[in-house]
A and B are shown apart, each in its own frame.
Chain A
Amino acid sequence: MTVRIWSLAGALAVLALLIALPDVVRGYYVALATKMLIFALFAMSLDLLLGYTGLASLGHATYFGVAAYTVALLVVRAGVNSATAFPAALAAATVTGVLFAPLALRARGSYFLMITFALAQVVWSIAFGWRSLTNGDDGMPNVVRPDFGWSLDNTVSFYHFVLATVGVAALLLAAIANSPFGRALRGIRESESRMQALGYDVWRYQYVAFVLSAFFAGIAGALYAYYNRFVGPEYLNVVQSAEALIMVILGGAGTLLGPAIGAALIVYLEDFVSSMTEHWVLVLGIIYVLVTLFAPRGLIGLVVEFRQRRAAK
């Protein structure tokens, strides 16, 4: 029980720090922290699929990008109110998940990875090629941030908006992870056949996990469209999908907190190291290799292992 109290206290301290962040650091870092939060949610959404259900997707940027594009198309092309576009974007990402899941779930393991990748490439090609609608690779600027009676144009208020949204989404994800459903997903990750033998309709669980994961990725994507005030096909790119995978693995798959930390760390490192040296790609590569060698279960894995070792003593 003391462990629980401590972690609760820790969580509250972190939350207080996050809320007070704009008072402590200067403007640019608030914006960077906003980006970290958005990608933390993106990575956590993938973790539901990769870490909990054991399905490695190389097409997760699809749901992120579809939501972002929905916001941009509705706001810029159709003149829809930006706040109204938000739920529509989540719906679009979810529907895409609903449609793609049955195709992707025909396979497992590396083949699942490949199908998700193939489907994602098709969506990317549409965003890239349908110039009259999407502006192709030029992307769509002039995305307006929503206005809920108070303006989000200011860096700090937008940060708090993102913090609140990501916070609620993270709580939901954590609740799902600890619900009977989330536990069942872990069981499926460990052994599909055993779960079936126990009476679980494995496919349906994977399907729901897939769609939920798309939904949460959609939240991150819509936020990112507001954050940058534009969208481009890069949002849908395989590089974006791969980066999400790396964030999850780096932080520690199947822990939610790990992927969030992994995402924040990678966003920060890309920004920080690339300002120091143009060879930031090399530095990041070396970091990935070192993390694998010393923390094969991800950064959180180190902590878990440490705890287990102490518990064993």
Chain B
Amino acid sequence: MTALTVENVSKNFGGVAALKDISLDVQEGERRVLLGPNGAGKTTLFHTISGNVVPSAGRIALFGLDITRLRPDRRARLGLARTFQITNLFPRLTALDSVLLALGGASGRGMQLIRPLSSYRSLYGEAQQVLDRWGLAATARRIVRTLSYGEQRQLEIALALAGKPRLLLLDEPTAGLSPAETRRVVAMVHELPRDMTIVMIEHDMDVAFELADRIAVMHLGRLIAEGDEAAIRANKQVTEIYLGAE
């Protein structure tokens, strides 16, 4: 089954075209990496998929369901989760509280007005498990603002995973991390269940080739190449634009 369909999507910002006629199909369980230099439009494409930006033209479908005009939170409840390129966490909450929020969003229990959250024992257990699983157990009671950058990037991913999404969008999960931290994140992704579909923006070529089933390359708002590692390595245009630039 096709997990994600992007059909002829374009986006203009005040006359400047950020996305030009992008079409993309991602199969269920596939690991897809988006490559491309800065300004290629990768993050904008992510925004149109997650619903933060409404495309000027084109259509987006999630597991066969048209989501082009849905709000981000509706898409999230359909099983789509994402991380942000610039860390987007809850700076003044604890790591545990953050995960609790992530679990609550998926469960739709957020509109409970009176019963204290602390009485939802099972939820707490689940949240602690999420943190344990992704090596963040020690951070549970710490205020997010005080976590190290690497821990914050890990928490980004943990939050996205808490709701057990079917499609996960990772926006440069390893950007700015030390080699050791990068390896930890790569391991994290490797451990994810194989039926989870992942689309990921990545600058680090080694990481990209290690994780990807297929790779798509963007340049100046266009999709210029698609294929597996070998096909991309062989693609002349990609070598010129992207690899050459490194």
Q: Touching in the complex, A and B, CB below 8 A?
A: yes
Q: Which residues of B in the span 75-116 have a Cβ within 8 Å of any Cβ on A? A: 76-77, 81-82, 84, 88-93, 97-98, 100-102, 104-106, 108-116
Please determine whether B76 and A178 come into contact, CB atoms closer than 8 angstroms: no
Tell me whether A183 and B73 are in contact in the complex, defined as CB-CB below 8 angstroms, given that A176-B113, A193-B84, A198-B163 are known contacts. Answer: no
- Of B101, B143, B163, the contact of A184 (CB 8 Å cutoff): B101
Report B78 CB to chain A, min CB distance, Å. 9
Task: Name B's A-contacting residues (CB within 8 A).
Answer: 50-52, 71-74, 76-77, 81-82, 84, 88-93, 97-98, 100-102, 104-106, 108-118, 120, 143, 159-160, 163
Please determine whether B90 and A187 come into contact, CB atoms closer than 8 angstroms: yes
B73 partner residues in chain A, CB cutoff 8 A: 195-202
Complex CA gap A175/B100 in Å reads 17
- A: interface residue count bin: 20 to 34
Tell me whether A184 and B115 are in contact in the complex, defined as CB-CB below 8 angstroms, given that A197-B82, A198-B159 are known contacts. Answer: no
Please determine whether A190 and B91 come into contact, CB atoms closer than 8 angstroms: yes
- Of B93, B105, B120, the contact of A199 (CB 8 Å cutoff): B105
Complex CA gap A122/B109 in Å reads 37
Please determine whether A187 and B101 come into contact, CB atoms closer than 8 angstroms: yes
> Within 8 Å of chain B (Cβ to Cβ): is A274?
no
> Within 8 Å of chain B (Cβ to Cβ): is A109?
no
Task: Name A's B-contacting residues (CB within 8 A).
Answer: 172, 175-176, 178-184, 186-187, 190-191, 193-202, 205, 208, 308
Tell me whether A175 and B116 are in contact in the complex, defined as CB-CB below 8 angstroms, given that A197-B82, A198-B101 are known contacts. Answer: yes
Please determine whether A178 and B116 come into contact, CB atoms closer than 8 angstroms: yes
Complex CA gap A179/B112 in Å reads 6
Complex CA gap A101/B100 in Å reads 28
Complex CA gap A172/B115 in Å reads 10
A202 partner residues in chain B, CB cutoff 8 A: 73
A179 partner residues in chain B, CB cutoff 8 A: 112-117
Report B112 CB to chain A, min CB distance, Å. 4
Please determine whether B117 and A183 come into contact, CB atoms closer than 8 angstroms: yes
Please determine whether A195 and B101 come into contact, CB atoms closer than 8 angstroms: yes
Report B52 CB to chain A, min CB distance, Å. 7
| Closest B residue by C-beta to A175 | B114
A183 partner residues in chain B, CB cutoff 8 A: 97, 100-101, 104, 110, 117
A196 partner residues in chain B, CB cutoff 8 A: 51-52, 71-73, 76
- Of B84, B91, B105, B113, the contact of A181 (CB 8 Å cutoff): B113
Report B2 CB to chain A, min CB distance, Å. 22
- Of A175, A184, A308, the contact of B110 (CB 8 Å cutoff): A184
Query: Could you show 21 A-B contacts with beta carbons less than 8 Å apart?
Result: A175-B113, A175-B114, A178-B117, A179-B112, A179-B116, A179-B117, A180-B104, A181-B111, A181-B112, A183-B101, A183-B117, A186-B92, A187-B98, A191-B89, A194-B89, A195-B101, A197-B88, A198-B81, A199-B108, A201-B71, A205-B110
A205 partner residues in chain B, CB cutoff 8 A: 110-111
Complex CA gap A186/B93 in Å reads 8
Please determine whether B93 and A200 come into contact, CB atoms closer than 8 angstroms: no
Complex CA gap A176/B98 in Å reads 18
Complex CA gap A190/B144 in Å reads 11
Residue with the greatest number of chain B CB neighbours at <10 A, chosen from A178, A193, A194, A196: A194
B71 partner residues in chain A, CB cutoff 8 A: 196, 201
B159 partner residues in chain A, CB cutoff 8 A: 194, 198
Complex CA gap A201/B81 in Å reads 15
Complex CA gap A200/B101 in Å reads 9
Please determine whether B93 and A180 come into contact, CB atoms closer than 8 angstroms: no
B120 partner residues in chain A, CB cutoff 8 A: 180
Please determine whether A193 and B88 come into contact, CB atoms closer than 8 angstroms: yes
- Of A176, A180, A193, A201, the contact of B52 (CB 8 Å cutoff): A193
Complex CA gap A40/B26 in Å reads 56
Complex CA gap A176/B114 in Å reads 5
B104 partner residues in chain A, CB cutoff 8 A: 180, 183-184, 200
Please determine whether B82 and A199 come into contact, CB atoms closer than 8 angstroms: no
Please determine whether A197 and B114 come into contact, CB atoms closer than 8 angstroms: no
A186 partner residues in chain B, CB cutoff 8 A: 90, 92-93, 97
